[in-house]
Amino acid sequence: MKLAGFDLFEYELPLTQPIVTKDETLSNRRGFLVKLSTDSGVIGWGEIAPLPGFSRESLASVKQQTLKLKSTLIGSNLPDDLTPRGKGWSHWRLPGDLAPSVRCGLELAVWNLHPAQGPRKTVLVNGLLTGDREEVPHSAYEMVRLGYKAVKLKVGGRPMDEAIEITWKVRDIVGDRVRLRLDANRAWSLDQAVKFGQAVSTCDIDYIEEPTADPANLGVFFSECGMPVALDETLSDSPIKALEEFRGIKAIILKPTFLGSFQKAHDLAQRARTLGIQPIVSSCFESGIGILGLARFAAYLSLENIPAGLDTYRWLHEDLLSPMLKIDRGRIEVNLPMESAHIGKMDWLREIRDG
């Protein structure tokens, strides 16, 4: 199979609510779609969507890097085994210094050249709770009504008393049949994290993501509180070392857009499993193209019954897919086609020409 076409499109999608990062507040989600086509007419779409405030690369830099790849890749032969665990990637022409989001998007496009096969699958989705102390309880009630099996509450950045209070309130609302996960986003010192952990120690927390600003303190936090920890930001630095070094790690949050590839995320998931650590596939506010790819990746890892962090899709007021993806009873369907006929909102795309 030979690569015959390589097209790049830019999108800007309106949001239902702003995305607040450490550097700015985003009212729209911007990114790129790459469309690959083979000499036999098969089309695969991928998404390149660095998230400002979190990704190290900028939108401008990934645009230029992707355009430079076009002349290199057009006409190249695509090895057969280009799956997340495949060996074919080492035989293709991708440079080793690609930005994480660029490589991730190209891998997804190539993967989508091979349509999903087998029985229909759905993947459990982890409901995301954000907002103030009045909004969160209403959202928690709604997620229970909609059938979510797990919810994640953002606690970092809240006043300590509010974080403790709202954690207990959410646990009371969702009951003991819904997993409660927390995310502190490295917002606390060790003392603050321990204070919080001890205050909610009997709240049956599934895990808390990155409770301390310094990951070197994660082991002390676990010793003091006994609360399981999940790694997220720490994985971007030395992922394998982080898995083997820290005590109390229950889960890792796999974000291929940040990690740099589905292949890398796959290898990290496999290593985590050997250590008794649960991989959790998660998104970075991608469009439906990226979300569907992540859901497919979760199923590929046999994680369809482990709630994935794909609820950021609800932040999109409009999507490139038509119809928009549906999260039903806390699940999202995986085996959906990705042909251009289902990129129904072409008016949201602007093709980028060379130069």
Query: What span, in angstroms and rounded, lies between the C-alpha atoms of 12 and 186?
Result: 29
pLDDT given for residue 341 in this prediction: 45
pLDDT given for residue 354 in this prediction: 74
Task: Tell me 148's DSSP state.
Answer: -
Residues (pLDDT < 50) of the chain are: 340-341
pLDDT tens profile 4-33:
999 999 999 999 999 987 778 999 999 999
Whether the CB-CB separation of 203 and 180 falls below 8 Å is answered with yes
pLDDT given for residue 119 in this prediction: 62
pLDDT given for residue 333 in this prediction: 87
To the question of pTM greater than 0.75 for the whole model, the response is yes
Query: What span, in angstroms and rounded, lies between the C-alpha atoms of 206 and 248?
Result: 12
Facing residues of 291 across strands? none
pLDDT tens profile 154-172:
999 899 999 999 999 999 9
Q: Which domains does the chain have, with CATH numbers?
A: 3-116+342-352 (3.30.390.10), 122-337 (3.20.20.120)
pLDDT given for residue 20 in this prediction: 85
pLDDT tens profile 177-214:
999 999 999 999 999 999 999 999 999 999 999 999 99
Facing residues of 45 across strands? 35
3-state secondary structure of 90: helix
pLDDT given for residue 251 in this prediction: 97
